[in-house]
Structure 1
Amino acid sequence: MKPFDDACLEESPLHALLAPASIAVIGASNDPTKRGYKAMLGLIQGGYSGAVYPVNPKADTILGVRAWPDIKAVPKAPALALICTPAATVPALIEACGRRGVKGAIILASGFGETGAAGARLERDMLSRARAGGVRLIGPNTSGVFNLHYRFNLLALDHLRAGDIGVVSQSGNMLLSLALEAEHHGQVGFSTYVGPGNQSDLGFDDYLRYLGEDPHTRVATLYVEGFRDGRAFLDAARKVSAAKPVVVYKSGATAQGQQSASSHTGALAGSYPMTVDLLRQAGVNVVPYSDDILPVAEGLGQLQRSPGRRVAVIADGGGQATIAADRLAEAGLELATLTADCQARLSAALSAQASTVNPVDVAGATDAHPALLATCMAIVAADPGVDAVLLVGMFGGYARRFDESLADDEMRGAETMVELAGTAVKPVVVYSLYAPVKPPALTRLRTAGVPVYASIEKAVSVLAALSERGAYLDRPVPPALPPAVPGSRGQALVAGARAKGRSLLEPEAKALLAEHGIGVLDERLVRDADELADAARVFAGTPVAMKVVSPDIIHKSDAGGVALNLEGEAALAEAYAGILRSAREYDSHARIDGVLVTPMAPKGVEVIVGLMRDDTFGPVVMFGLGGVLVEVLEDVAFRAAPLSREDAAGMLEQLKARRVLDGVRGAPGVDKDALIDLLVSVSRLMEAYPDITELDLNPVIAYPDGYAVVDARILLATDEESAP
């Protein structure tokens, strides 16, 4: 596969670490229980062709290889050092490596930042010495590294096949699980593996770029517990995923994420759903289950993409055809509608009892001629309304189930499927209930690159990933946006609030929004009886809402700081007094800047628009159904800012309740273009105003001809915070 840019592997800064010409094993040992022994064993048994320098002051040889007392004594500076000694010894060893000219080091020891303050200090010391000496680090607390195409295996794992799946995993046991699964499967092979450990120096983004450049890797696969720099990873993922698939399994799906009382937006930031949305925005295929990792990686590596979501199912049993249809629908795929010509060709090939409506049920026609399944697959693959073909049933097991004489016919069918898969632009995926016993026909498919799965669910997961990747690659390239520019009034409002040590008050927030073309309702800030009387005259004959304005009261309803549907000066006066009284009872120390009076917004669809500066991923936009239940429903979508219009449109379409936006029970649909404009405008505010840390528009009332921002809150960085 062509690298994503003109850089070759030899030019990568990680080449010395992941495909080194020579290695020193510091802490090499003759004790089989030590990691220094395992590393040496892996290099020797794996057939590593580079120079190996065991370093151990108490041994003359390690596993028959001459040992050296320290890195200074090694006759030639190695490209890489593997450090197998305790954490306390590592900083000095890294300094010695730098002086010897070693360019990279892998640190196996734990006992650094993951253990507390003392370990964090040790890790900082290690990193400082590494940078001073020009040494790049993998780890510490790493499970190790291998590069099978260079016969470089520091894990001493056997039965590994060299292949095209690159793996980066924060769990050594997850790598072992994938290795055992691949061994059982028999056809899956790996290129490079890295355990990133604490990522004190190199992180997931660095390893992903390496895998993107590596000509031996066709698909990059990552098990992630946490990103060191999420924004850098998204940047790398966008670049790499344009050339080859990137598969991520992110653990922590049930974690509550960052909790914040500041706003609904803050309470939903840092969540697992947010991480998944941002990864998919960057072209990553995110798998929900750990046992999806290898099947999806294999399928994407072999087939790369699907031109669409329409799947034709060929089945030799009605029950499994129904199961496949259910799983396809759940995965967001469609059963293709077969043309009349396609159905006529199927009828001619099958018996009268067969069903030629998708899913196609051959109804016993293949019991004596299993190669007919391949014929049917070729027929539906030629249908212009079909994007992918899924075979479900017992192909490969007919000879075992009925008669050995069928083995040759099954193999002929397998050869036809291989030919079809090699010539069609549409992916062909096979589920067989005989897959676990590896009959010859299925082995032929697997060795030829036709993915075969022992689970309908896994086969559908692969088809869904292929469709998702195809849609990503086919998306239009958004035009480059000009730099976001702050408004003069907005700058003054932000500077004034910062000078007072607070965030923007609601009237100030809405003024900033209005300056950037975001629609807000007319309103008046009332601070005394005269201003109240003036507001009553301005909004005479119109029901109004009144809300307390205070930098210390975030959730106004909880403080009794909201009154709705008020008409007439007397009603406004009574509500004004009640709001002030309730607010003071709620927080006697709260600063109250007045009460906001605004016309009641007509009924429409309530949505929420949020913007936050996430600690990991930087500026992120949120959209979902709004109101007080947003944190309960959690029907929201996230994208990294700045947004393209396509990004914003995708947020609307992602909602589970998106039909509400189209209109239900006779209600008209909302103005989606206006909402898209709103999201794009909001997404650029953090670029224009670096002091903004969080924005919350909830609710925004969406109408058939626009929207109205009913409530707005903009939080600013404090003096103690350093806004990026």
Structure 2
Amino acid sequence: MNPIEGHLPSRSPLHDILAPTGIAVIGASSDSTKRGYKAMVGLIKDGYRGEIYPVNPKADMILGVKAWPSVTSIPGNPQLALICTPAATVPGLIAECGRRGIKGAVILASGFAEVGGEGAELEREMMAKAEAHGVRIIGPNTSGMFNLHHRINLLALDNVKPGDVGIISQSGNMLLSLALEAQHNGHVGFSTYVGPGNQSDIGFNDYLRYLGEDEHTRVATLYVEGFRDGRKFLEVAREVSAMKPVVVYKSGSTEQGQKAASSHTGALAGSYAMTVDLLRQSGVSMVQYSDEILPVAEGLGLLQKARGKRVAVISDGGGQATIASDRLAEAGLELAELSESTRAQLREVLFPQASTVNPVDVAGSTDANPSLLATCMEIVAADDNVDSIFLVGMFGGYSVRFAESLLGDEMRGAEAMVDLANATEKPLVIYSLYTPIKPPALRRLHEAGLPVYASIEHSVRVLAALGDRGQHLAQYHSHARTAAVEPLPALDAMFRQARAEGRDLLEYEAKQLLREHGVVVPLELVARSEAELAEAAARFGDTPLAMKIVSRDILHKSDAGGVRLNLVGEAALHEAREAILASCRAYDPDAEIEGVLVTPMAQKGVEVIIGVIRDPIFGPVLMFGLGGVFVEILEDVAFRAIPLSRHDASSMVDQLKARRVLEGARGEAAVDKEALVDLLLQVSSLVEAYPDLKELDLNPVIVNADGYAVVDARVIVDRETDVSDKEAH
């Protein structure tokens, strides 16, 4: 049963393509070195139940199956074509497929957009034919696909067994690595695999939607180099992750990796940190290392979720208990505080020297009776303070290490663990150092659907994913996102004027935009003359003031000497104005200067930065971080796709490594977090209302116990995109 009754808007059209009743193999061959041969072998060996139509004008039979000279000569009704011929032949073949009524084509050839130039033009020609004839394209530059529950194996991979892990991978070698790992593991099987290649037509969002609907897929797993339509993927991931786990490994975490991804698939690789945050916001379970992909997919597929992040560790070795505790803390998990009742029950069954404080160390109590580990698991599972149980040590290997006579006890312990797993919703995760040799007790656990790992690190990564998913699902229905505000005519006119003049919004205009939509902005006055400056001095009296240049041509005011602080009295204002004007004219003699902006100094507090960009892949994205060295050196920032929910905004604040600064470090008062969350939501809600807003930068915003003060605001106007195009989009 799904944890949340979710559904996707309509049935994916990919079902007919990825589970076809007939397949045409264009370029089928009797040459064992050719892909057209391997595909035929894969279909025949796996017992594909549909019709196979090899297409080769030079052969009458291929591997005992009648061949056809062309696509249009096929008498049956194939739904999918596998094209194994060179790139130059593809556009014409796509047109033939369309005329024959074939709905989809898998294109193996490379030499398209990923190489640029003529390849990109060839891909455009291919897509024009596909759109004209109603053919959906998998690839090009794809490794192929399989659907093992329908006995379709176009890769002719050996020893891959059907299961419930769906794989979409932009790397054929990564799929091969996962298949070999699953073969060695012996317990993980696959449902559908697709290599999306260049994603010229069908993209990750389409494949994920299919896996979300596929009854044979329990967990969707993706290796991603780059998205074509990241915005759409986030929306689909939000829906699918409410129904089943979605695991993503995103390559390109470094500048070098991003360059490699671009040259490999022509993909657009954006900021890695931003991508990770946005995918997690949509409920995706991210893995950082490639060897975590299959363990996390298996663990989530078997266990789905944990209620929270409080873990009880039961160990038969102190060293490994310590290692487990370290890794749990690093992963953001908590050692559950066991109740006194739980500890008392543990003391009744364990030796006096055993530790009943989490992590529980049985201290030799199980050497003569390993089934006692199951008893300990049953005791802690009943504790309301525990969300999941982590067994660490040598279970399964007692009969190997000590005496064969312990095998019966281990098997009884395994059965008790299976019974416990069926009786509780709390995940049971087992790490055993004997996992590689697959002793009987561990085989029994695996057969019953309990994940058993040979690595503490992999086990902890699974526990973390279960906890994250449980929390996401628990808050799913409270993730209502803020609606965009209605644009105000006067502000629309302000943007149009800035576009017409080829400039960005001036600071006071940016603050007017914020103020009109509910953001608290300090009073400020623009002084364009000495007389107006005198009026400002009279208005503010003895209040310490800040003065800044107002110029469309000077964006970095401090660099130009365009800022003066802590000014008190009219004389100080006049002196500061003269100094600012002189500095800015020396900095840029041609700069158009409107005047100076005068505003009260902000109260003491913590500097934060709030920014918005319109990412070409993911659309509008909000960034939040601490200001100063934190953002410039440590890059301690959080990202969320706009629009945000209140949970999204709150989690941005909690995500920062330096959040203790906001919580009141060294005796300072904690900042008003709710006011800060309100500000993030207000910024989120106004961005979508103004399509001309390309970037927004509030830096710094001073936050304290009394609220916040927007000290500086900058809005970059989109002067390149046609407004009518954006409104239509």
Answer yes or no: same fold by TM over 0.5: yes
1:615 equivalenced with 2:642 (yes/no): no
Give the Cα separation in 1 of the matches to 2:605 and 2:163: 55
1:222 equivalenced with 2:222 (yes/no): yes
Alpha-carbon distance change, 71 to 681 in structure 1, aligned in 2, over 3 angstroms: same
**CA positional deviation for 1:514:** 0.5
1:56 equivalenced with 2:56 (yes/no): yes
**CA positional deviation for 1:6:** 6.4
C-alpha offsets along residues 510-536 of structure 1, whole Å, 9 cap, x if unaligned?
011100110111112222322233223
Alignment partner, residue 131 of structure 1: 131
Alignment partner, residue 179 of structure 2: 179
C-alpha offsets along residues 300-330 of structure 1, whole Å, 9 cap, x if unaligned?
0000000111111110000001111111111
- Give the letter for the 1:487 counterpart: L
C-alpha offsets along residues 150-173 of structure 1, whole Å, 9 cap, x if unaligned?
010011111111100000010111
- Give the letter for the 2:515 counterpart: A
Give the Cα separation in 2 of the matches to 1:57 and 1:4: 51
- Give the letter for the 1:574 counterpart: E
**CA positional deviation for 1:180:** 0.7
1:417 equivalenced with 2:423 (yes/no): no
Unaligned 5+ segments in structure 2 are: 260-268
State which drifts further: 377-386 or 550-559: 550-559
Q: How does 1:43-122 map to 2 (within 5 A)?
A: 43-122=43-122
Give the Cα separation in 2 of the matches to 1:592 and 1:152: 69
Alignment partner, residue 329 of structure 1: 329
Q: How does 1:300-311 map to 2 (within 5 A)?
A: 300-311=300-311
Alpha-carbon distance change, 8 to 598 in structure 1, aligned in 2, over 3 angstroms: closer
C-alpha offsets along residues 319-347 of structure 1, whole Å, 9 cap, x if unaligned?
00111111111111111111111111111
Give the Cα separation in 1 of the matches to 2:467 and 2:109: 42
- Give the letter for the 2:677 counterpart: I
Give the Cα separation in 2 of the matches to 1:33 and 1:525: 76
Alignment partner, residue 546 of structure 1: 547
**CA positional deviation for 1:649:** 0.8
- Give the letter for the 2:633 counterpart: V
- Give the letter for the 1:600 counterpart: M
Alignment partner, residue 670 of structure 1: 671
1:40 equivalenced with 2:40 (yes/no): yes
The answer on whether the counterparts of 1:627 and 1:698 sit within 8 Å (CA) in structure 2 is no
The answer on whether the counterparts of 1:644 and 1:680 sit within 8 Å (CA) in structure 2 is yes
C-alpha offsets along residues 117-143 of structure 1, whole Å, 9 cap, x if unaligned?
211111111111101101011001111
Alignment partner, residue 263 of structure 1: none
Give the Cα separation in 2 of the matches to 1:621 and 1:256: 25
1:710 equivalenced with 2:708 (yes/no): no
1:206 equivalenced with 2:210 (yes/no): no
Alignment partner, residue 578 of structure 1: 579
Alignment partner, residue 142 of structure 1: 142
Alignment partner, residue 590 of structure 1: 591
Alpha-carbon distance change, 457 to 72 in structure 1, aligned in 2, over 3 angstroms: same
**CA positional deviation for 1:577:** 2.6
Q: How does 1:232-631 map to 2 (within 5 A)?
A: 232-255=232-255, 270-475=270-475, 476-479=477-480, 481-627=482-628, 630-631=631-632
Give 3-state SS (helix, strand or coil) of 1:665's partner. helix
C-alpha offsets along residues 441-461 of structure 1, whole Å, 9 cap, x if unaligned?
111111111000001111010
The answer on whether the counterparts of 1:257 and 1:272 sit within 8 Å (CA) in structure 2 is no
Alpha-carbon distance change, 173 to 486 in structure 1, aligned in 2, over 3 angstroms: same
Alpha-carbon distance change, 502 to 313 in structure 1, aligned in 2, over 3 angstroms: same
C-alpha offsets along residues 650-677 of structure 1, whole Å, 9 cap, x if unaligned?
1111111111111111111111111111
The answer on whether the counterparts of 2:370 and 2:410 sit within 8 Å (CA) in structure 1 is yes
The answer on whether the counterparts of 2:630 and 2:636 sit within 8 Å (CA) in structure 1 is no
Alignment partner, residue 640 of structure 1: 641
Alignment partner, residue 698 of structure 1: 699
Alpha-carbon distance change, 303 to 570 in structure 1, aligned in 2, over 3 angstroms: same
C-alpha offsets along residues 234-278 of structure 1, whole Å, 9 cap, x if unaligned?
11011101110000011111239999xxxxxxxxx9421111111
**CA positional deviation for 1:693:** 1.1
The answer on whether the counterparts of 1:247 and 1:293 sit within 8 Å (CA) in structure 2 is yes
TM-score (norm 1): 0.96
Alpha-carbon distance change, 471 to 720 in structure 1, aligned in 2, over 3 angstroms: closer
The answer on whether the counterparts of 1:314 and 1:390 sit within 8 Å (CA) in structure 2 is yes
Unaligned 5+ segments in structure 1 are: 260-268
Give the Cα separation in 1 of the matches to 2:630 and 2:179: 45
Give the Cα separation in 2 of the matches to 1:270 and 1:100: 40
The answer on whether the counterparts of 2:251 and 2:258 sit within 8 Å (CA) in structure 1 is no
Give the Cα separation in 2 of the matches to 1:76 and 1:399: 60
Give the Cα separation in 2 of the matches to 1:106 and 1:507: 55
Give 3-state SS (helix, strand or coil) of 2:460's partner. helix
Give 3-state SS (helix, strand or coil) of 2:719's partner. coil
Alignment partner, residue 681 of structure 2: 680
Give the Cα separation in 2 of the matches to 1:47 and 1:581: 84
C-alpha offsets along residues 5-45 of structure 1, whole Å, 9 cap, x if unaligned?
66799x53101221110000111111122111111111111
Give the Cα separation in 1 of the matches to 2:526 and 2:430: 66
C-alpha offsets along residues 43-78 of structure 1, whole Å, 9 cap, x if unaligned?
111111111111111122222211111101111231
The answer on whether the counterparts of 1:257 and 1:270 sit within 8 Å (CA) in structure 2 is no
The root-mean-square deviation of aligned C-alpha atoms, in Å, is 1.9
- Give the letter for the 2:20 counterpart: P
The answer on whether the counterparts of 1:311 and 1:388 sit within 8 Å (CA) in structure 2 is yes
The answer on whether the counterparts of 2:310 and 2:387 sit within 8 Å (CA) in structure 1 is yes
Give the Cα separation in 2 of the matches to 1:631 and 1:481: 29
- Give the letter for the 2:536 counterpart: A
State which drifts further: 394-403 or 555-564: 555-564
The answer on whether the counterparts of 1:188 and 1:298 sit within 8 Å (CA) in structure 2 is yes
Give the Cα separation in 2 of the matches to 1:312 and 1:162: 34
Alpha-carbon distance change, 480 to 331 in structure 1, aligned in 2, over 3 angstroms: closer
**CA positional deviation for 1:380:** 0.7
- Give the letter for the 1:718 counterpart: R
Give the Cα separation in 2 of the matches to 1:210 and 1:703: 48
Give 3-state SS (helix, strand or coil) of 1:216's partner. coil
Give the Cα separation in 1 of the matches to 2:668 and 2:481: 37
Give 3-state SS (helix, strand or coil) of 2:665's partner. coil
Alignment partner, residue 263 of structure 2: none
Give 3-state SS (helix, strand or coil) of 1:24's partner. strand
Give the Cα separation in 1 of the matches to 2:256 and 2:28: 43
Give 3-state SS (helix, strand or coil) of 2:76's partner. coil
**CA positional deviation for 1:495:** 2.1
State which drifts further: 151-160 or 472-481: 472-481
Alignment partner, residue 661 of structure 1: 662
**CA positional deviation for 1:481:** 4.8
Alpha-carbon distance change, 481 to 630 in structure 1, aligned in 2, over 3 angstroms: closer
The answer on whether the counterparts of 2:146 and 2:192 sit within 8 Å (CA) in structure 1 is yes
- Give the letter for the 1:63 counterpart: L
C-alpha offsets along residues 463-494 of structure 1, whole Å, 9 cap, x if unaligned?
00000000000004244655520123322321
Give 3-state SS (helix, strand or coil) of 1:501's partner. coil
Give the Cα separation in 1 of the matches to 2:601 and 2:480: 38
**CA positional deviation for 1:630:** 1.8
Give the Cα separation in 1 of the matches to 2:625 and 2:420: 44
- Give the letter for the 1:423 counterpart: A
Give the Cα separation in 2 of the matches to 1:580 and 1:156: 74
State which drifts further: 573-582 or 270-279: 573-582
Give the Cα separation in 2 of the matches to 1:210 and 1:480: 25
Give 3-state SS (helix, strand or coil) of 2:666's partner. coil
The answer on whether the counterparts of 1:8 and 1:214 sit within 8 Å (CA) in structure 2 is no
**CA positional deviation for 1:357:** 1.0
- Give the letter for the 2:248 counterpart: V
Give the Cα separation in 2 of the matches to 1:486 and 1:256: 42
The answer on whether the counterparts of 1:8 and 1:213 sit within 8 Å (CA) in structure 2 is no
Give the Cα separation in 1 of the matches to 2:97 and 2:137: 11
Give the Cα separation in 2 of the matches to 1:132 and 1:704: 62
The answer on whether the counterparts of 1:4 and 1:212 sit within 8 Å (CA) in structure 2 is no
Give the Cα separation in 2 of the matches to 1:351 and 1:480: 54
